[in-house]
Amino acid sequence: MLAPYKVSERNTVYYTNLTAENFSFNHSHNPFIQYNRDKQFRLMINYLKPSPDDRILCVGVGSGRELEILSNYVEKLYGVDISEKLLLHCSDKFKGRFDGCLCNLEKDKTIYDVDYFDKVVCLNVLPYFSKSGMHNFFREMSRIVQDNGELFMFILNAHFPVSEALQKQSQKNRQKCSKPIYYYRPISDYVNVFSRYGFVVRNAEGGDFYCDINSWFFKYLFNFRWSKLLLRLMDFGGRTTLKRYYRSLYLTLTNQSYSQY
C-alpha cells in the first residue's frame, strides 16, 4: 500500500495533466452504475434548487457534466479545477457563460472574493483528497460561500459493510494502471473537518449500495434480472436511516460560519 502522502502526490500529478479526451465517464450498460450517475444530477437539482441569478460553483469540472445540467437553470457557470486543459475544454463548450479558476483546492485559495457564491456542487472529487486537502477545501468554501449558502457533495462511506475490501481492490487495481486513488472514509472524518469551518448538515441521502466485488453473493444480488426491484429499494432506503450503511452518500451542508474572514 502507498503512504497517504504518496497517494496525494500521485493524484495531483494525474489530475493536473488530465485532458477532456482521456476523461472517461462512458455510458454503462450496468443499470446500477447508470442509476448512480443519473441520481447525482437528480439530487443536485433537488437539493440545490438552482434559480437563474444563483452563483453556483462547480468544484472539479471534469468534462463539464454538472455544468451542462446547470446551464439549463442558471445564467452564468463557474468552475474550479486543477487541470488547465479541462478548464479550457469547458470554456470552449460554454463560451462566455463560463468563468473558470485554475486552482489546487487541496492547498490553495481560489480567486473569488469572500461570500461570492450562493451554492457549491462537488461531485466525485472529495474521495480523492487527502485529510489536509479536505481542511483546505472546507476552509476555502467557508470563505467564498455566503452565510446560509449551500454545498452539495458526494462522499464514499467507510460504514458500508464491504468498504474495506472495496478499498483494497480499487487501490491495487488503480495502482497497477496509474489511475488516481480514492478513499472510503467514516462520515465522522468529514463532519470533524467541515464543522470546524462552520458547516452544518442540512440533508443527507444515501446514493447506492452496489459493489462489483468478486463474490458469488454479490454477483447473485446484483443480477440485472431483478435490478428494477433492487433499484427501487435502493432509492427508498437512501431516504431512511439505512443510508448510514450505503456505499455512497450525498450531503447538503449549510455555511453558518458568519464570515470570520
Ligand X SMILES: C[S@@+](CC[C@H](N)C(=O)[O-])C[C@H]1O[C@@H](n2cnc3c(N)ncnc32)[C@H](O)[C@@H]1O
User: Residues in the site for ligand X, rule: CB under 6 A?
Assistant: 15, 18, 25, 60-62, 65-66, 80-83, 86, 103-106, 123-125, 128
Query: What is the smallest separation between the CB atom of 226 and ligand X, expressed in angstroms?
Result: 28
Q: Cβ 92 to ligand X, closest distance in Å? A: 15
Between 70 and 230, CB nearer to ligand X: 70
Query: Which parts of the chain fold into alpha helices (H)?
Result: 4-16, 31-48, 65-70, 84-94, 131-144, 163-176, 187-196, 216-221, 227-237
Compute the distance between CA of residue 255 and CA of residue 14 in angstroms, rounded to an integer: 31
- Closer CB to ligand X, 166 or 230, in the complex: 166
Please list, in sequence order, all residues whose beta carbon lies within 8 angstroms of the beta carbon of residue 115, skipping any fewer than 6 positions away: 144, 145, 146, 147, 149, 259
Pairing of strands 145-156, 77-81: unpaired
Nearest distance, CB of residue 18 and ligand X, angstroms: 5
Q: Least distance to ligand X from the beta carbon of 63, Å? A: 6
DSSP lists the bridge partners of residue 120 as 57, 151
User: How many CB atoms sit inside 10 A of residue 236's CB?
Assistant: 11
Report d(CA 121, CA 253) in Å as an integer: 10
For ligand X, give the closer residue by CB, 79 or 238.
Answer: 79
By C-beta, is 103 or 249 nearer to ligand X? Answer: 103
Mode of pairing for the β-strands spanning 117-122 and 145-156: parallel
C-alpha cell at 61: 469540472
Question: Element (H or E) spanning 250, and its range?
Answer: strand 248-255
Indicate the residue among 182 and 230 with the shorter CB distance to ligand X: 182
Question: Whole-number minimum distance, CB 220 to ligand X, in Å?
Answer: 30
The Cα 105–Cα 139 span in angstroms is 10
Shortest Å distance, C-beta 83 to ligand X:
4
Min dist CB 180 to ligand X, Å, is: 8
Shortest Å, Cβ 152 to ligand X: 12
Residue closer to ligand X (CB basis): 79 or 149: 79
Q: Which is nearer to ligand X, 185 or 230 (CB)?
A: 185
**For residue 81, which amino acid is it?**
D
Q: Would you call 238 helix, strand, or coil by DSSP?
A: coil
Quick one: 133 or 230, whose CB is closer to ligand X? 133
Q: Are 81 and 122 in contact (CB under 8 A)?
A: no
